[in-house]
Structure 1
Amino acid sequence: MISVSDRKKAISLIKEAVANGAREPEACKVLGITQRTLQRWRSSLTPIEDQRKNAKRPEPANKLSIDERQAIIETANQPEFKSLPPSQIVPRLADQGIYLASESTFYRVLKENNMQHHRGRAKKPCAKPISTHCATSPNQVWMWDITWLPGPAKGIFFYLYLILDLFSRKIVAWDIWTEESSENASILVRRAIMSEKRTLANEPLVLHSDNVNIAIGKSQLCHIFEPLMTSN
Structure 2
Amino acid sequence: MKPTYDTAVRDQVRQRMSPPNRESVAEIARSTGITTQTLYNWRSQWQKQGQLVPATTKPPEQWSALDKLAAVIQAAGLSGPDLGAFCRERGLYPKQLARWRQAAEDANGPSAPSMADQRELQRKNQELIRQNRRLQRELEKKEKALSEAATLLMLSKKARSAVATGRGTMIPPEDRSQLMELFREGLKEGASATAIADLIGICSRTLRRWGIAFQTHGFSQDRRKGSPRNVAHRFTPEERQRLIHIVNDPRFADLTPAQIVAILAEERIYVGSESTIYRIMRQEGLLNHRGRTRLPREPREVPVLEATGIHQVLAWDITLLPGPVKGQFYYLYMVMDVWSRRILGAEVHEHECSELASAFFDRVCRDEGISKETAAVLHSDNGAPMRSFTLAAKMAELGVSLSFSRPRVSNDNAYAESWFRTMKYHQSYPLRRFRDLLSVKAWVDGFVEWYNAEHRHSGIKYVTPNQRHYGQADAICAIRQQTYEEARQRHPQRWSRPPRNWLQPQVVSINHPRPQKPVAA
Structure 1 or 2, whichever has the larger Rg, is: 2
- Normalising to structure 2: TM-score of the pair? 0.23
| Greater RCO structure (CA 8 Å; 6+ sep) | 1
Structure in which a larger fraction of residues adopt helix: 2
Structure in which a larger fraction of residues adopt strand: 1
- Normalising to structure 1: TM-score of the pair? 0.48
